[in-house]
A and B are shown apart, each in its own frame.
Chain A
Amino acid sequence: MRQSAESIRGRFLKLGIDVPIEDIESRLEELVTNFKVPSNEAQRSVTNYFLKKYSIPKNEFYVRQAEPQLTKIADISENGQWANLKAKVIQLWENIHESISQVGLLGDETGIVKFTGWKNAELPKLEQGESYLFRSLVVGEYNGRFQVQLNRNSSVEKLAEVIDVIGGDFTPIARESDLRNISNLVGGQWATVKGKVIQLWENSHESIEQAGLLGDPTGVIKFTNWASSEIPYMEEGKSYVLKNVFVNEWGGKSQIQLSRSSSVEELDEDITVGTSNLTYFGAMVDIQTGSGLIKRCPECKRALVKGACAEHGKVKGEYDLRIKAVLDSGTSTQDILINRELTEELVGISLDSAIAMAADALDPGVVLDKLKHELLGRYYTVSGHKFDRYILANSITPSTSLNRELIEEMFAELEVD
């Protein structure tokens, strides 16, 4: 008990405060003996009590006290752990969230780890290629991977020395990532992909240059080309090789990001997209919720749910028109997605008139009702690319005539009997 009290007293002495040892000891005594508090908990509680009493900010106290040894990246092993690192900023990524100041990769001779610098940490900007001493980083775990975060209690000091990074001079430009098939891409890796731009999405956010779908013979994947990547605009229908793109996962699906470290070259060949132009014939048996007049997040184009975006929270949405429908052939079913242009063509209403209808009725549901009324129960042939469980319709055509040949064939068979 005496020893614990001495150590607490010592720590306060360093801050120039002489706390009477008897006070410390009696408080510890009371907690441990009378209230059965474990000794380490009691020490913490007593320390906090005196911090409060002398109006010392907790952060200051603990940061000064805790000068744990330097950790190597490979030794990061515990969620919630605090760490001090000497590391080199090997890469800065595009930062997509306003509360984040910087995000990227740190490396030392033992490994590489993702870091996130929060804006409210108010730390100076890190430069790619420079080495720093990072104090009081917090280790977090996401999707089974460790990452470190710079928060308000962290500090950063630029080093003159250059920290060696595992695997030599790891810079993504110097090292080209492996060529991979789209169907093999998984989150958290760098890759080079050859594919055809099969769809470009409308995009209004200034930090995004382009977003859309890229396909190769094995599949289709969403891509985002950040404006700061300075990669020239890609055209729909053309094939490209996309070097050093980062693959991440969102909502269980992989997508690729083009950033400053990526590069794109147009290809002469025309890459065939797997499942390209799948055609399906059936009756429309369902139009699902989320069809009709919807609002999308202006930043990421996701459909809003109750006025909020899963990623960006409450936003002022932009109107769009789309249909999520189920076609049924009698032996199988197929989910299809019909975009605004095709919806307008198919149903004969424009987005503006849909908005007017909804405003008139004070209910966007009237648009959905109209779609159901016009489309359900009818036969259609749809063609488009398969993506996930959907066919993204390039065209949708209502059946307008009976297949006379089929009728004759069947009659022929039935007459024989």
Chain B
Amino acid sequence: MAGFYREVARRVFSQELKDSNLASRDESDQYAPQYVLTPTGAKVNRIFLVGTLIEKEDIGTDSEYWRGRISDPTGSFLVYAGQYQPEASQFLADCELPAFVAVVGKTSTYTTDDGNVLTSIRPESIQQVNELTRDLWVLDTAKQTLERIRAVEVEEDPNSKLAKEHYFTDTDFYRAMVKKALESLKESKY
């Protein structure tokens, strides 16, 4: 097990993940994990998110291939589950909409013909959760995003520096995003 370490599941709002287009991977090693660097400098391989499953569709041709849309206060994530994610596929097949769901998954990027980078999520697990968990996640993600924004502003570490160089990150924009997310907690029962 020497050298093995588990990828941390990053907390990123959907808006920020959608804005991400810098994929990186250690080219010398075909088994190296793939990362997406977000505008606030989160280096994402695994992600943890909680939101509302608002759409689902079986887009497979031969076998089932499920696409789910999960919204958070800033936008929505797309998750894709096929035969290699049997538990997640089963969940999407059975789940009634809408529902609060928690997803742990791996991000992957796809570059379209016109050069756009799309980031999608391949779930390792999806579970139905309650509203409390969703609110806790929004707070958790707001806090961690704000910490990253501060780091980008002072170019604290290599990731924040790289993010700033690549995206010319407008931190005010992301501060506004965090604020918007926090506002959704104002009405929270918890």
Binary per-residue interface labels of chain B (4-45) against chain A in the complex, 1 for a CB within 8 Å, 0 otherwise: 001011110000000000000000000000000000000000
Query: Does B99 touch A at the CB level, under 8 Å?
Result: no
Please choose the segment from B52-60, B63-71, B74-82, B182-190 that sits at the chain A interface, where 4 or more of its residues have CB less than 8 A away. Answer: B182-190
Q: Give B117 Cβ to nearest chain A Cβ, in Å.
A: 23
- Asked if B8 and A414 sit within 8 Å, CB to CB, the answer is no
Max chain B CB contacts within 10 Å: which of A285, A400, A407?
A285
Max chain B CB contacts within 10 Å: which of A326, A328, A400?
A328
Known: A283-B48, A406-B143. A328 touches B185 (CB 8 A): no
Known: A376-B102, A403-B139. A414 touches B133 (CB 8 A): no
Q: Give A416 Cβ to nearest chain B Cβ, in Å.
A: 10
Binary per-residue interface labels of chain A (268-305) against chain B in the complex, 1 for a CB within 8 Å, 0 otherwise: 00000000000000010110000000000000000000
Q: Which of B140, B144, B146 lies in contact with A413, CB distance below 8 A?
A: B146
Known: A326-B6, A330-B9, A333-B8. A402 touches B188 (CB 8 A): yes
Q: Which of B135, B139, B175 lies in contact with A414, CB distance below 8 A?
A: B175
A400 vs B142: C-alpha distance when bound (angstroms): 18
Binary per-residue interface labels of chain B (98-142) against chain A in the complex, 1 for a CB within 8 Å, 0 otherwise: 000111100000000000000000001101010011011101111
Give the A-B pair count, Cβ closer than 8 A.
90
Q: In the complex, how many residues of chain B place their beta carbon closer than 8 angstroms to a beta carbon of chain A? A: 37
Query: Does A410 touch B at the CB level, under 8 Å?
Result: yes
Max chain B CB contacts within 10 Å: which of A286, A400, A403, A414?
A414
Query: Does B92 touch A at the CB level, under 8 Å?
Result: no
A326 vs B124: C-alpha distance when bound (angstroms): 13
Query: Does B152 touch A at the CB level, under 8 Å?
Result: no
Query: Does A373 touch B at the CB level, under 8 Å?
Result: yes
Tell me which residues from 109 to 154 in chain A have a Cβ below 8 Å from any Cβ of chain B.
none
Q: Give A378 Cβ to nearest chain B Cβ, in Å.
A: 5
Q: Give A324 Cβ to nearest chain B Cβ, in Å.
A: 13
- Asked if A402 and B185 sit within 8 Å, CB to CB, the answer is yes
Tell me which residues from 375 to 412 in chain A have a Cβ below 8 Å from any Cβ of chain B.
376-379, 399-403, 406-407, 410-411
What chain B residues lie within 8 Å of A399 (beta carbons)? Answer: 132, 136
Query: Does B179 touch A at the CB level, under 8 Å?
Result: yes
CB-CB nearest in chain B for A416: B175
- Asked if B127 and A376 sit within 8 Å, CB to CB, the answer is yes
- Asked if B124 and A286 sit within 8 Å, CB to CB, the answer is yes
Query: Does A372 touch B at the CB level, under 8 Å?
Result: yes
What chain A residues lie within 8 Å of B103 (beta carbons)? Answer: 377
A410 vs B175: C-alpha distance when bound (angstroms): 10
Query: Does A69 touch B at the CB level, under 8 Å?
Result: no
Q: Give A335 Cβ to nearest chain B Cβ, in Å.
A: 8
- Asked if B142 and A410 sit within 8 Å, CB to CB, the answer is yes
- Asked if A377 and B133 sit within 8 Å, CB to CB, the answer is yes
Known: A331-B8, A333-B8, A407-B182. A377 touches B127 (CB 8 A): yes
- Asked if B129 and A377 sit within 8 Å, CB to CB, the answer is yes
A and B contact pairs by CB, cutoff 8 A, 29 listed: A283-B102, A283-B140, A285-B46, A285-B125, A286-B124, A328-B9, A330-B8, A330-B11, A330-B140, A330-B141, A331-B8, A333-B9, A372-B127, A377-B50, A377-B125, A378-B129, A379-B140, A401-B132, A402-B136, A402-B188, A402-B190, A403-B139, A407-B185, A410-B142, A410-B146, A410-B182, A413-B146, A414-B176, A414-B179
Nearest 7 CB-CB pairs, A to B? A377-B102, A330-B11, A414-B179, A285-B104, A328-B9, A377-B127, A376-B127
Point out residues on B near A: beta carbons under 8 Å. 6, 8-11, 46, 48, 50, 101-104, 124-125, 127, 129, 132-133, 135-137, 139-144, 146, 172, 175-176, 178-179, 182, 185, 188, 190
Point out residues on A near B: beta carbons under 8 Å. 283, 285-286, 326, 328-333, 372-373, 376-379, 399-403, 406-407, 410-411, 413-414, 417
List 15 other contacts, CB 8 Å, given A328-B9, A377-B50, A378-B102: A285-B46, A285-B104, A330-B9, A330-B10, A377-B104, A379-B136, A401-B132, A401-B190, A402-B135, A402-B185, A402-B190, A407-B139, A407-B182, A410-B182, A414-B146
